[in-house]
Amino acid sequence: MNTAEKNIPNTKEKGMGMKARRTLGDIAIYIILIIMSIIWLTPFVCIVLQSFRCESTWQVGYVIPQQWGLDNYKGLLETDFVKWYSNTFIMALVVSVLQTFIVLCMSYTLSRFRFKLRKPLMQFMLILGLFPGMLTMIILYRVLKDLGLTMENAIPGLILVYIASSGMGYYISKGFFDTIPMSLDEAARVDGATRMQVFFQMIMPLSKSIIIYTILTAFMGPWGDFIFAKYISFNTSAGMNVAVGLYSWLNKDMIASRYTMFCAGGVIVAIPVTILFLFLQKYYVEGVTGGSVKG
Amino acid sequence: MKKKLLATLLVATLAIASLAGCGKKSADGSGSPADTGSKNNATTETKAEGDLSFNITVWVPELAVDLTKSQIEAFNASNPDGINFTATVEAVSEADSATTMITDVESGADIFFFAQDQAARLIQSGGLSKLGIQAAESVSAANAAGVVSACMSGEDMYAYPLTADNGYFMYYDKSVVPEADIDSLEAIIADCEAAGRTFCMETDTSAWYIASFFFGTGCVSDWETDEDGAFISVNDTFNSDKGLIAAKGLYKLQTSPIHVSSSQGSEFDAAVPAAVVVTGTWDYNTVSDILGENMGVADLPCFAVDGASYHMGSYNGCKLLGVKPQSDAARSASLHKLAQYLVSEEAQMDRFNELAWGPANLNAQASDAVQANPGLAALLEQAPYSIPQGQIHGSWWDIAKVIGTDVGESDGSDEGLKAALQKYEDTISALFNMTSDEKEAMSVIGALCGTSWDTDFPMTRSAEIGAFYYSDVLELKAGDEFKCRMGASWDVNFGADGALDGPNVVVEEDGFYVIKLAVNDDKTEGIITLEKNSYVNGWTVIGVVAGSNWDADFEMAVQDDGTTYKSVDTFDMTAGTEFKVRQGHNWDVSYGDGTENFVVEADGTYTVVFDSTTGTITLE
Give the integer Cα–Cα distance in Å for B35 and B541: 55
- Name the closest residue on chain B to residue A230, using Cα atoms: B100
What is the pLDDT confidence band of residue B578, given thresholds at 50, 70 and 90? confident
- Reading phi first (left if > 0) and then psi (alpha if -120 to 50, else beta), residue A101 is in alpha
Query: SS3 of B210, please?
Result: helix
pLDDT surpasses 80 at B31: no
Looking at residue B298, its pLDDT comes to 92
Count the alpha carbons within 13 Å of B521 in the hemisphere toward its beta carbon.
Answer: 0
Q: Is B321 helix (H, G, I), strand (E, B) or coil?
A: strand
**Shortest Cα–Cα distance, B482 to chain A (Å):** 48
Residues of B with CB below 8 A from A201's CB? 2
**End-to-end CA separation in angstroms for chain B:** 84
Residues from chain A contacting residue B324 (CB–CB below 8 Å): none
Work out the angle at residue A166's Cα, subtended by the Cα atoms of residues A165 and A169, and round it to the nearest 5 degrees.
115
B209 touches A at CB < 8 Å: no
Cβ within 8 Å, pair B93-A251:
yes
| Contacts of residue B130, Cβ cutoff 8 Å, sequence gap at least 6 | B156, B157, B158
Average pLDDT, chain B: 82
Whether the CB of B356 is below 8 Å from some CB of chain A: the reply is no
Q: How buried is B79 (Cβ within 10 angstroms: 0-12 exposed, 13-18 middle, 19+ buried)?
A: middle
Output the DSSP codes for B148-181.
Answer: HHHHEETTEE-SEEEEEEEE-EEEEETTTS-GGG
**C-alpha B249 chain-centroid distance:** 32
The pLDDT of residue A285: 77
| Structural contact between residues B265 and B283, judged by C-beta atoms closer than 8 angstroms | yes
Label residue A291 by pLDDT band (50, 70, 90). Answer: low
Asked if the model's pLDDT at residue B44 lies above 60, the reply is no
Burial zone of B534 (CB within 10 Å; 0-12 exposed, 13-18 middle, 19+ buried): middle
Q: Which amino acid is at B395?
A: S
Q: Which residues of B touch A56 (CB under 8 A)?
A: 269, 289-290
Using DSSP's 3-state secondary structure scheme, residue A38 falls into helix
Cite the DSSP H helix spans in B227-357: 241-254, 284-291, 329-342, 345-355
> How wide is the angle at C-alpha A250 spanned by C-alphas A234 and B97, nearest 5°?
35
A113 touches chain B (CB under 8 A): no
Q: Is the per-residue pLDDT at B173 higher than 90?
A: yes
The DSSP annotation for B517-539 comes to EEE-TTSSBEEEEEEE---SS-E
Tens-digit pLDDT profile for residues B76-127: 999 888 889 999 998 888 877 888 888 888 888 999 999 888 888 888 888 8
pLDDT at residue B201, rounded to an integer: 94
Q: How many residue contacts between A and B have a Cβ separation below 8 Å?
A: 125
Amino acid in the structure at residue A34: I
Range 1-20 of B in CB contact (< 8 A) with A: 1-2, 5-6, 8-9, 12, 15-16, 19-20
Here the contacts of A42-47 (C-beta below 8 Å, separation 24 or greater) are: A44/A270, A47/A263, A47/A266, A47/A267
CA distances from B479 to A71, A152, B501, B526 (A): 83, 66, 20, 21
Task: State the DSSP string of B381-404.
Answer: HHGGGEEE-----TTHHHHHHHHH
Cα angle B299, B304, B310 (rounded to 5 degrees) comes to 50
What is the per-residue pLDDT for B383? 85
Chain B nearest C-alpha distance from A60 (Å): 5
d(CA B68, CA B392): 29
Please name the helix (run of DSSP H) or strand (run of DSSP E) that holds residue B405, with its range, or none.
helix B396-409
- Alpha-carbon distance of B33 to B45, in angstroms, equals 13
Q: What is the pLDDT of residue A295?
A: 42
Dump pLDDT digits (tens) for B349-378. 999 998 888 899 999 988 888 888 888 888
- CA–CA separation, B222 and B215 (whole Å): 11
| Contact between residue A173 and residue A257 where contact means Cβ atoms under 8 Å apart | no
Q: What is residue A4's predicted lDDT score, i.e. its pLDDT?
A: 46
pLDDT in tens, B403-436: 988 998 888 888 889 989 988 888 887 776 545 5
Q: Do B39 and A238 touch (CB under 8 A)?
A: no
Give the start-end residues of each E strand in A101-158: none
pLDDT recorded at residue B322: 93
Rounded to the nearest 10°, the torsion over CA B72, B75, B81, B87 is 10
Chain A environment of B97 (Cβ under 8 Å): 235
Give me the residues of B, 51-90, that contact A with CB < 8 A: 59, 61-63, 90
Residue B17, pLDDT above cutoff 50: no
The string of pLDDT tens digits covering residues B591-620 is 887 777 888 888 888 888 888 777 788 888
> Looking at per-residue confidence, does A199 or B509 come out higher?
A199
What pTM was computed for the model? Answer: 0.68
pLDDT above 70 as % of chain A:
92
**Average pLDDT, integer, range B434-460:** 74
CA B106 and chain centroid, separation: 19
Percent of chain A with pLDDT over 90: 45
**Across-strand partners of B85?**
B54
